[in-house]
Amino acid sequence: MTTEALTSTEYIRHHLQNLTCGLHEGQFHCAHNVEEAKAMGFWALNIDTLGVSLVLGLVFLFFFSRVAKSAAQGVPSGAQNFVEWVIEFVDNSVRGSFSGRNALVAPLALTIFIWIFLMNLMDLIPVDYIPFVAEHMGIGHFKVVPSTDPNATIGMALGVFFLVIFYSIKMKGLGGFIGELTLQPFGKFGLPFNLFLEVVNLIAKPVSLSLRLFGNMYAGEMIFILIALLPFYVQWTLSLPWAIFHILIVTLQAFIFMTLTIVYLDMAHQEHH
């Protein structure tokens, strides 16, 4: 805990608060509490979310592109072996679920898988380390797990959503896409009902993608924070099993996000679904 006077509620609130910075009352600064962050409205940035995901993305791309640059056809080195293993895993997933031909889908799936995996992995850093360091550097809040910020997950889901709409229109034409939204499942006489069903269906894709990831990671983070409220000498009895179990969730959520993205894009490429 950061200070002795903090109550449990304050501690939890403190840990769940992003480092939100934006224009407030005419000047740029970072929010000290939830109310201030809210008052900044939409045009504010969660610097911690953006910064950590940027660093993780760069780590991923730096590592993979360095391997890619020196990729040899002969006996692979350890790093190349690992990268190839990941890439073949993603490639197999794409081949298994995606029936069309699109050079974007596999790299997209790889980026999603590794990036989200790294973001989720930040959950395994003990909950007090980063906020403690941040506080001593004069930063009030720092949430190190980007995927526990709905902005991050919705942001990625929106990216996928744009791609789904883009490829739906590209593959079927604007008319085909509108037809798909309005003419099934009940034919043209059930048009309003069809539209309602299909729009819900369409909107449900990004919502389920983002909220599933966010919900899982948020809940996991919350449990770590609750465990951190216990006396330090019993914490390990709960945090260790939860961390081990969380490794599974970290990987599984990244995999689910990737697989669903592939499936949604596959549906966007198909004439009938």
Partner 1 sequence: MNINATLLGQTIMFAMFVWFCMKFVWPPIMAALDARKKLIADGLAAAERGKHDLELAAKRSAEVLREAKEKAADIIALGDKRAGEIVEEAKVKAEVEAGNIRTRANSEIEQEVFRAKEQLRTQVSGVALAGAGKILGREIDAKAHNDLLEKLLTEI
Chain contacts with partner 1 (rule: CB under 8 A):
16-18, 20, 22, 34, 37-38, 40-46, 49-50, 53-54, 57, 60-61, 64-65, 67-69, 71-74, 76, 80, 83-84, 87-88, 91, 103-104, 106-108, 110-111, 115, 146, 149-152, 154-156, 158-159
How many beta carbons lie within 10 A of that of residue 121, not counting itself? 17
Q: Toward partner 1, which CB reaches closer, 18 or 239?
A: 18
The torsion angles phi and psi of 45, rounded to 5 degrees, stand at -120, 140
- In the complex, the smallest distance separating the C-beta of residue 188 from partner 1, rounded to whole angstroms, is 35
Contact 167, 265 (CB under 8 A): yes
Whose structure tokens read 């951190």? Answer: 228
For residues 27, 33, 37, 40, the Cα torsion angle rounded to the nearest 10 degrees is -30
Is the Cβ–Cβ distance between 49 and 152 less than 8 Å? yes
Give the DSSP letter string of 76-95: --HHHHHHHHHHHHHHHHHH
Phi then psi dihedrals of residue 22, to 5 deg: 180, -170
Active site residues: 208, 212, 216
Q: Are 15 and 140 in contact (CB under 8 A)?
A: no
Q: What is the nearest approach in angstroms of partner 1 to the Cβ of residue 151?
A: 4
Cross-sheet strand order for the sheet of 27-30: 27-30, 20-24, 44-46
Closer residue to partner 1 in complex, CB, 194/253: 253
Q: Minimum distance from CB of 54 to partner 1 (Å)?
A: 6
In angstroms, what is the minimal distance from the CB of 146 to partner 1? 8
Question: What is the distance between the alpha carbons of residues 108 and 156, in angstroms, rounded to a whole number?
Answer: 11
What is the C-alpha to C-alpha distance for residues 81 and 187, in angstroms, rounded to an integer? 52
Which residue, 37 or 250, is less far from partner 1 as judged by CB?
37
Nearer to partner 1, 83 or 181 (CB): 83
Cβ density class 142-166: b for 16+ within 10 Å, e for less:
bbbbbbbbbbbbbebbebbbebbee
Q: What angle do CA 51, 112, 221 make, to 5 degrees?
A: 60
**Closest CB 31 distance from partner 1, rounded Å:** 10
Nearer to partner 1, 18 or 194 (CB): 18
The least distance separating partner 1 from the CB of residue 204, rounded to whole angstroms, comes to: 18
Nearer to partner 1 by Cβ, of 105 and 228: the residue is: 105
